[in-house]
Amino acid sequence: MWRHGERCVIFAVAAAALLAAAAAAAGRDDRQTYIVHMSHSAMPNDFVEHGEWYAASLQPGVLIVNPEVRYELHTTRTPEFLGLDGTDALFPQSSTGSDVIVGVLDTGVWPERPSYDDTGFGPVPADWKGECEKGNDFSASACNKKLIGARFFLTGYEAAKGPVDTSNESRSPRDNDGHGTHTSSTAAGAAIQGADLLGYAAGTAKGMAPRARVATYKVCWVGGCFSSDILKAMEVAVTDGVDVLSLSLGGGTADYYRDSIAVGAFSAMEKGIFVSCSAGNAGPGAATLSNGAPWVTTVGAGTIDRDFPAYVALGNGKNYTGVSLYSGKPLPTTPVPLIYAGNASNSSMGQLCMSGSLVPEKVAGKIVLCDRGTNARVQKGFIVKDAGGAGMILANTAANGEELVADAHILPGSGVGEKAGNAIRDYAMSDPKATATIVFAGTKVGIQPSPVVAAFSSRGPNTVTPSVLKPDIIAPGVNILAAWSGSVGPSGIAGDSRRVGFNIISGTSMSCPHVSGLAALLRAAHPEWSPAAIRSALMTTAYNEYPNGNGNGILDVATGRPATPLDVGAGHVDPAKAVDPGLVYDIAAADYVDFLCALNYGPMQIATLTKRSSDGCAANRTYAESALNYPSFAVTFPAGGGTVKHTRTVTNVGQPGTYKVTASAAAGSTPVSVSVEPSTLSFSKAGEKQSFTVSFSAPAKPTGTNGFGRLVWSSDHHVVASPIEATWN
């Protein structure tokens, strides 16, 4: 795999030679893994093999040395919700799309699940180079014509954490966590009838691209996901021959040449591979997203129109709606004593139901109201149960507001929003004889409004390059049913002895593989499209208003107000339209290099991404970040206002036609003038390109708000929309 261009070499050393000397001088052994990006072409003639040269010296040929970074995982009805119940009609190639391969970097796979059934699949594509790697409790025969590859990567992990504890997790591609099985089956799981979680969400579960093949790359372990393992897995996946890479994980933010996911994704993009990444679960605060490189499709999370109500009835006659996936012995039909955890503890943080914080004599036989936060939601139920509690009400605080995420509680429990939680708390604290009960109402569909933006979904702006609007798009990521590991219960808690074939969980980890699977469908339907063209099709056909025609924007559950492009990017995916977008904003690898030049990256920083020392910036050229042909607009004005121009080029991928533009934007009550030249584009054939220039004009910076808007090209058959975000320095 080290055959062409520059490559990365992974060293588990005492901070390489110089750093080791410093550590020795200080009397310590600070061992750490570093990713060393080497210039392939700089090998002296004295060496025959690159491995020999790498082992001999870390001085010549070094481009960049990046320290190991620990990444975290970003943790059925969606095909119908997305309009994919008639997939073969929408995507004529989907029934023959089994040559498309989705690679998933995650916690591995539980290959025995029926989501990986290969019935009806033909031979594995002849050019596939992947493997089914053996390990403890995982044999090469675990793969088939559906699950065509399963690898594991742990050099970086073991350098940092020591050997994998095989009594706790498998040193193999096997998934002991559940996350990886869930994400890979969401992207491309086979259609399975009779799927459910403990009786909830019963029906047929299938991935977005059920005829695509799956290859899994285990990079996440009990102690985390390490950047050197992630980068190695991405490089191997590219060599194996995947068409789509799905990464539901992320860390902080860094310059792209220091971000292993961005580095690996650049190489994948150059090979025509679409890379989809989760935006993160750090919302609803601003500037919280990760994976913001422009050659990556960054995915936020929204809800679908399905819910799992669990009603809380209080002794004072008040009733509140919560959510739950509890399935077990119900509470008595008569009212049960209710107590607030803060009044049942000798701890200063007793209200959080932390381990050992509850006094058994005070909670025995009662429903306990716990505040959400600090420890896992479901873990609080274990703590209540261990203390003798009969049930639990989990109350959101201001950090989570009215967002409700259903959990497979171990005892009768319901999660309620902040307002309901405050009311229940007031009642429990004011009435010494407070009582309650919880009624579980099963599965409800047709919930409106939907989608809404999940409060946990990370938001823009993009802190590394604010000139690129992120996230790109949102997709279903709340209460998603998909396959699960046989090693762990649905709560993910060690003490959960329940075992299920499917689980319902939430996160941008769930929305990312939805987009990965949709990209696989688009690749099957349009094999000639570039990764940028696929992303453009998904973005420009997305909707930011509810489809009922009332003009109301998609709501943000965190605020109760319409979401902005910093929350949803272009909007919510609409795959039925994405297959025929009309126009696309295409981007070639050379365009991204120009973008890197605009960022003032030096030759070695660029070579770290491109793997070519020949890529550089011309001294006689002027580069601009705004010149990147992105299907969205992030505009920055001087503080005193002014005019900013962006040029874009669109490619016709549909029938001949004429498109007319409409565009508008505003920052609160302050209008932002948007004019487009030319205002009409005519195309006579597929593949034809047309360019246009957008002039944005605004007065001095208004108080306390960004500007938002939309630019739309419309023909008789297509609507091609781009979001606008405006800021002032």
Query: What are the catalytic residues?
Result: 106, 179, 509
C-beta separation of 109 from 174 below 8 A? yes
- Positive or negative: CA dihedral 51, 52, 54, 60: negative
Q: What does the alpha-carbon distance between residue 577 and residue 541 come to, in Å, rounded to a whole number?
A: 6
Q: How many CB atoms lie within 10 A of CB 616?
A: 16
Strand partners, 663: 711
Structure token pair of residue 449 = 């409004």
CB 437 within 8 A of CB 343: no
**Is-contact 530 585, C-beta < 8 A?**
no
Would you give the distance in Å from CA 290 to the centre of its chain?
Answer: 9
Give the HSE-up count for residue 199: Cα atoms under 13 Å, Cβ half-sphere: 8
DSSP 78: H
Nearest alpha carbon to residue 473 among 405, 439, 429, 519: 519
Q: In what order do the strands lie in the sheet with 249-250?
A: 220-221, 224-226, 70-73, 249-250
User: What values do phi and psi take at 384, rounded to 5?
Assistant: -60, -45
Which tokens in the block code for residue 226?
């390490």
Residue in the structure block whose two tokens are 């095909």? 79
Q: Is the peptide bond before 471 cis (omega within 30 degrees of 0)?
A: yes
- For residue 525, give Cα distances in angstroms to 95, 165, 246, 588, 611: 10, 44, 19, 20, 31
For 169, the token pair is: 């997790």
**Rg value, the chain, Cα:** 26
Helix 603-610 crosses helix 260-270 at what angle (to 10 degrees)? 60
CB-based contacts of 63, cutoff 8 Å, min separation 6? 6, 37, 38, 39, 604, 607, 608
**In contact, 269 and 243? CB cutoff 8 Å:** no
Handedness of CA 16, 18, 20, 23 (dihedral sign): negative
Select from 648, 625, 642 the least CA-distant residue to 697: 642
Among 102, 462, 530, smallest CA distance to 300 is for 462
8 A C-beta contact, residue 727 and residue 665: no
Neighbours of 692 (CB within 10 A): 19
Buried b (16+ CB within 10 A) or exposed e, 187-203: bbbbbbeebbbbebbbb
CB neighbour class for 284 (10 Å; exposed up to 12, middle 13-18, buried from 19) = buried
What are 270's two structure tokens? 């150059």
- Cβ-count burial of 167 within 10 angstroms (0-12 exposed, 13-18 middle, 19+ buried)? exposed
Of 272, 270, 265, the C-alpha closest to 293 is 265
Pairwise CA distance, residues 485 & 385, whole Å: 25
For residue 187, the SS3 value is: helix
CB 114 within 8 A of CB 179: no
**Both tokens assigned to 132:** 């089914």
Q: Which of 8, 1, 17, 15 is nearest to 39 (CA)?
A: 8
Torsions phi, psi for 226 (to 5 deg) = -105, 140
